[in-house]
Structure 1
Amino acid sequence: MADTLHFRGINYDTGTNYMPGWHSRQDWSTEGMRTDIAVIRDQLHCNAVTLFGSQLPHLAECAEYAADAGLALWLQPRLIDVHAETALDHLTQVADLAQALHDRGADVRLNVGCELSIFAPGIIPGRTYQHRATALGVIWPLLPLFNVLLNRRLRTAVARARDHFTGEITYGAGSWESVDWSPFDHVGVNLYRDKSNAATYGAALAGLHRHRKPVLITEFGCCSYPGADRQGGAGDAIIDWSDPTRPRVKGDHPRDESVQQRYLAELLDSFVEHDVTGAFVFEFSEPTYPRSPDPVHDIDVASFGVLAADPTTAVGDRPYALVPKAAFHEIARRFSAA
């Protein structure tokens, strides 16, 4: 058994189109991105990063800078609610980017997508990814059929990717997805621990080795309020977005950063125990979930970011400062020791 993870990483969003006409990095700047990559390498002590997003220019700019910084890269296109051909064309462009970086000596690999049964139309019924996520909870008995459709989509994606990229390939599978891993070089799973799987989480990790390929936990994370550890990947559901200009925390959810800190520490221990090759914290920051002194509007408590966006202070060309949370220091300590 290895005594550490080979890939000690974090997810970094370069701008994802979760809503039409909008993406999650409206504040994108070269200066800010370069500062973030330096923090990932020099303060968090990561040796790897997953760069994901829908904005190809951002992804390319960030990938080139992170490669020059010496980080191992996993590039992941993340298009939301777009049809298969559009997604394949985008994947082709990302694969070409990865190959160009590979040709110049970068340590780069490709992740062909994230939880496509939800984020891509045509597998689970539903007009948007929110509708499909809701539908899955209702028509769960049809999951075997959805997995057949998913694997058909993945085989096409891998074939296209291999036409354009000669390096290693994985996928960021949802825990409900049953993926045929035979075309991939690594098993990749977004494995959040919550109240439904806490008792079997270790067994789930052990089971990933049945595919006889290196195992990556492509996402894992937690929010920062009491009980968030029992919600896992659904921890952000406590936010009321009915007024997008003034989102609110639903109910009483005071800030408790020790919840996120402890959760990440426990899972990192589990990954080493179960011979996981690499793990990528979700995620670096979510500026669309800003911190506030008013608990009703402190929606950062429902962010998976290990840095909080503080809009009371502008830094450089950003209208906020990024403030490390307790989990940030936990990751830094562990990755530095490794």
Structure 2
Amino acid sequence: MITRKTFLKSVAGAVAVAGLGGGVAEAAAGGPHRLRGGVAYDTGVLHAAGEPLSRARWSRRRLEQEIRVIADGLHCPSITAFGTEIGRLTETTAAALGRGMEVYVQPRLYDHPQDEVLEHMAESARQAERQRDGADVKFVAGCEHLLFTPGIVPGATFQERIANIGEIPPGEWPKIMERLSDFLARAADVVRRNFRGRITYAAIGGAEQIDWNLFDIVGIDYYQYFATDAEYTKDLAPYRRWNKPVVVLEFGACTFTGAAQAGGMGWDIVDRDQEPPRIKPGHVRNEHEQARHLTRLLRVFGAAGIQGAHAYTFIAPGLPHHPSRPEYDYDMASYSLVKTLRERHHDEESPYRFEPKRSFTAMARHNRGQAGIFTGPASETGQ
């Protein structure tokens, strides 16, 4: 599996070669402020035809319970509601609006032909427009299309495209960026014909080179890791030069030692060639590191003038916690703020409950203004 570092290195020169960096305003949008964190909320994503959604169990009662916890327990001002089923996106939007939160609606349809992706986006936009309440509903024109939508990078599935990225010759990147730009222009047009509110796109931070003139808000999925705050500030600065609000639609870390540096590839610690899958040897559960990273980045984002940031993710029922068998503690590979405990650990259809992790407590304290950064131990064994 290609690492995120290799991926970012592979495309680092694409903006200069492809000539997609022009037209940027010099003024920066927003100034330093204390930023309250929101969350990304998974309503269920279809990863492959014939497979269940990433959230196999779904009910209105559970949705209302989780949205209440996000609003009243985490004190989140906003969420990104993402998923494949438009009905679930609509339900989630209504529940979050009912709790006074701002909602970014983000449809996801992986590995389908581009026309089908755009049709799905159009219907999602129509439904979001029906729910738009002043400025409280924004629309996100998909997520990381470079990886998840065919026809831009070679490969039939997103796993194949991720694997292929490291093998792409540098001279091919201008064509790839041109294909991405063409698709995003079509997507923005489709969304604007069906949604009258403000729109954005969830770009891969540090990789996808976007003409943000197409959108009202600069949106990024941000999993970079730097040792110092100054390096983060420098890395984030170019996004503000478009003189538009910048919102981080995803950021976070998994729940093991070293997860902050692993960034967007932290999920890849599960050996799925075994049955049942197992956590790869050498990984130690670490809730402190996840909590420290989340609150650190909220502080960094606020200082850098970022207007909003959504921790990925509130809950990941497909990656349950095992309190006594570390090799089956899939929550270590999860970015979630709560841990899922199933009645039947290896059964995706099993009833489950959830408990807050240290990251939940740290983010809730941050959002209440009680702590600027979590200061627990740098490492720990167990929970």
Q: TM-score scaled by structure 2?
A: 0.83
CA-to-aligned-CA distance 1:87-117 (integer Å, 9 cap, x gap): 1111111111111012x55710100010001
1:326 aligns with 358
Distance 1:3 1:258 in 2: 25
For these two proteins, the number of residue pairs brought into alignment is 333
Which residue of 175, 197, 203 corresponds with 1:167?
A: 197
Whether 2:112 is the aligned partner of 1:82: answer yes
1:49 aligns with 79
The Cα of 1:230 is off from its aligned counterpart by 1.1
Distance 2:227 2:213 in 1: 28
Whether 2:297 is the aligned partner of 1:284: answer no
Consecutive unaligned residues of structure 2, counting only runs of 5 or more, are 1-30, 371-383
Distance 2:187 2:131 in 1: 20
The Cα of 1:58 is off from its aligned counterpart by 1.0
Q: Is the 8 A contact 1:313 1:321 kept in 2?
A: no
Q: Is the 8 A contact 1:223 1:301 kept in 2?
A: yes
1:73 aligns with 103
**Structure 2 residue identity aligned to 1:159:** D
2:281 aligns with 251
**Structure 2 residue identity aligned to 1:202:** T
**Secondary structure of residue in 1 paired with 2:37:** strand
Q: Is the 8 A contact 2:249 2:309 kept in 1?
A: yes
The equivalences for 1:201-280 within 5 A come to 201-243=232-274, 246-280=276-310
1:191 aligns with 222
The equivalences for 1:104-123 within 5 A come to 105=134, 107-123=136-152
1:124 aligns with 153
Q: Is the 8 A contact 1:32 1:318 kept in 2?
A: no
Distance 1:302 1:135 in 2: 23
The Cα of 1:308 is off from its aligned counterpart by 0.7
**Secondary structure of residue in 1 paired with 2:220:** strand
**Secondary structure of residue in 1 paired with 2:109:** coil
**Structure 1 residue identity aligned to 2:342:** P
**Structure 1 residue identity aligned to 2:283:** H
The Cα of 1:195 is off from its aligned counterpart by 6.4
Q: Is the 8 A contact 2:40 2:79 kept in 1?
A: yes
More helix by share: 1
Whether 2:186 is the aligned partner of 1:181: answer no
CA-to-aligned-CA distance 1:272-291 (integer Å, 9 cap, x gap): 11000110100011111110
Distance 2:363 2:227 in 1: 25
Consecutive unaligned residues of structure 1, counting only runs of 5 or more, are none
CA-to-aligned-CA distance 1:67-91 (integer Å, 9 cap, x gap): 1221101000111101111111111
1:10 aligns with 39
Question: Aligned in 2, Cα 1:277/1:106: closer, same or farther, shift over 3 Å?
Answer: closer
Query: Alpha carbon RMSD of aligned pairs, Å?
Result: 2.0
**Structure 1 residue identity aligned to 2:122:** T
Whether 2:338 is the aligned partner of 1:307: answer yes
Identity level (%): 36
Distance 1:320 1:150 in 2: 40
The Cα of 1:198 is off from its aligned counterpart by 8.6
